C-alpha cells in the first residue's frame, strides 16, 4: 500500500493498494503485464480504495504501472470470464521521475466548494436488456450467498413485473435495484447493490431515494419488505 503525502509532508489519507509483479514471465515482447486469476479479479473489484498494478523488469530495472480498478470498471465481464491479464502501458513509467504522474492519477482532486460532498453526474433509469452483462458482473460478489442465483437472476431479467433500475455514470452501471409487488399493499426490495468502486459516492442514497419516491407515488403501497443473507446478519 502507498499513502501519498501532503505538500507539508504530512499523511494525506489518500492511499492506493499495489499489486507488484517482477520477472520475465510478466514481460512479453517488451510489453509489461499483470497476470492474475478470477479470485484476484473478484477481490480487487470489491475494494473501495483504488488498486494499482506495478510490473518490474529486473534485467533493465524498468517498471510500469496500471490502474487495475479502472480496468475492472471498464471491463466488468472480465471479472468473471477474463482474460485475467492486464497490460501496464509503456506510457505509465514507474520511476522517480514518473512518480508525480502516478500520484496525480490516484490522488483525490481537491475541489474548492462550500459543499464538500460533490456527486458526479449520474443517470437513474429503467434497466434495459443491454445492461444484463454489466449487471451480472455487479452482482457477482453476492451470488455465492444465494443458491442457484444465476438461474433466478436470468428469470428476473425476463420478468416484466419486476421493477429494475440502474445508476449509470459515464456509461458504466454503478448500482442496481430490483423490487416486485407481493400484493396490492406490499412490495419486496429483492436486490439493491452499489459497485465496490462506487461506494462512498452517495449513489446508493440517490437510488434509494428514487425508489422511495416511486413507492410514495403509489398510495396503495403500505409496506416495503427487505431481506438479507444470513451471512450478512
Which CATH number belongs to the domain containing residue 152 in this structure?
3.40.630.30
List the alpha helices (DSSP H) in 47-182: 68-74, 78-81, 99-106, 132-139, 149-157
What local confidence, expressed as pLDDT, does residue 86 receive? 95
Asked if residue 209 and residue 140 are part of one domain, the reply reads yes
Q: 18: domain range?
A: 2-106
Q: Say how far apart CA 212 and CA 26 lie, in whole Å.
A: 49
What local confidence, expressed as pLDDT, does residue 39 receive? 92
Asked if residue 162 and residue 91 are part of one domain, the reply reads no
Give how many domains the chain has, as a whole number: 2
Asked if residue 174 and residue 93 are part of one domain, the reply reads no
Q: Is residue 112 part of a domain?
A: no
Q: Is residue 113 part of a domain?
A: no
Per-residue pLDDT of 157-207, as tens digits, reads: 999 999 999 998 888 899 999 999 998 899 999 999 998 888 888 888 889
Q: Is residue 30 part of a domain?
A: yes
Asked if residue 137 and residue 220 are part of one domain, the reply reads yes
What local confidence, expressed as pLDDT, does residue 120 receive? 61
Q: Is residue 115 part of a domain?
A: no
How many other β-carbons are positioned within 10 Å of the β-carbon of residue 230?
A: 7
Q: Is residue 116 part of a domain?
A: no
Asked if residue 226 and residue 161 are part of one domain, the reply reads yes
Alpha-carbon torsion angle 42, 11, 88, 142, nearest 10: 10
Asked if residue 191 and residue 93 are part of one domain, the reply reads no
Q: Is residue 202 part of a domain?
A: yes
What local confidence, expressed as pLDDT, does residue 1 receive? 84
Asked if residue 29 and residue 81 are part of one domain, the reply reads yes
Q: Which parts of the chain have pLDDT scores under 50?
A: 111-118, 233
Asked if residue 153 and residue 185 are part of one domain, the reply reads yes
Polymer length of the chain: 233
Q: Which residues contact 190 (CB under 8 A, 6 or more apart)?
A: 156, 162, 178, 179, 180
- Residue ending a domain, among 106, 140, 173, is 106
Asked if residue 165 and residue 99 are part of one domain, the reply reads no
Amino acid at each position: 500500500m502507498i499513502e501519498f503525502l501532503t505538500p507539508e509532508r504530512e499523511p494525506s489519507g489518500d492511499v492506493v493498494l499495489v499489486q507488484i509483479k517482477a520477472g520475465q514471465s510478466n514481460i512479453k515482447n517488451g510489453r509489461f503485464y499483470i497476470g492474475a486469476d478470477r479470485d484476484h479479479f473478484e477481490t480487487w473489484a470489491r475494494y473501495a480504495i483504488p488498486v494499482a498494478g506495478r510490473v518490474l523488469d529486473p534485467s533493465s530495472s524498468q517498471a510500469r504501472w496500471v490502474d487495475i480498478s479502472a480496468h475492472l470498471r471498464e471491463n466488468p465481464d472480465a471479472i468473471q470470464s477474463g482474460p485475467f491479464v492486464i497490460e501496464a502501458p509503456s506510457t505509465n513509467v514507474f520511476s522517480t521521475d514518473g512518480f508525480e504522474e502516478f500520484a496525480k492519477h490516484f490522488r483525490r482532486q481537491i475541489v474548492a466548494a462550500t459543499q464538500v460532498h460533490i456527486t458526479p453526474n449520474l443517470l437513474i433509469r429503467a434497466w434495459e436488456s443491454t445492461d444484463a452483462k454489466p449487471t451480472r458482473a455487479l452482482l457477482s460478489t453476492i451470488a455465492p450467498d444465494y443458491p442457484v442465483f444465476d438461474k433466478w437472476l436470468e428469470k428476473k431479467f425476463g420478468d416484466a413485473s419486476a421493477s429494475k433500475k440502474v445508476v449509470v455514470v459515464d456509461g458504466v452501471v454503478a448500482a442496481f435495484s430490483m423490487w416486485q409487488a407481493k400484493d396490492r399493499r406490499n412490495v419486496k426490495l429483492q436486490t439493491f447493490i452499489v459497485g465496490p468502486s462506487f461506494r462512498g459516492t452517495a449513489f446508493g442514497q440517490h437510488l434509494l431515494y428514487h425508489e422511495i419516491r416511486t413507492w410514495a407515488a403509489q398510495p396503495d403501497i403500505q409496506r416495503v419488505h427487505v431481506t438479507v443473507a444470513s451471512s450478512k446478519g
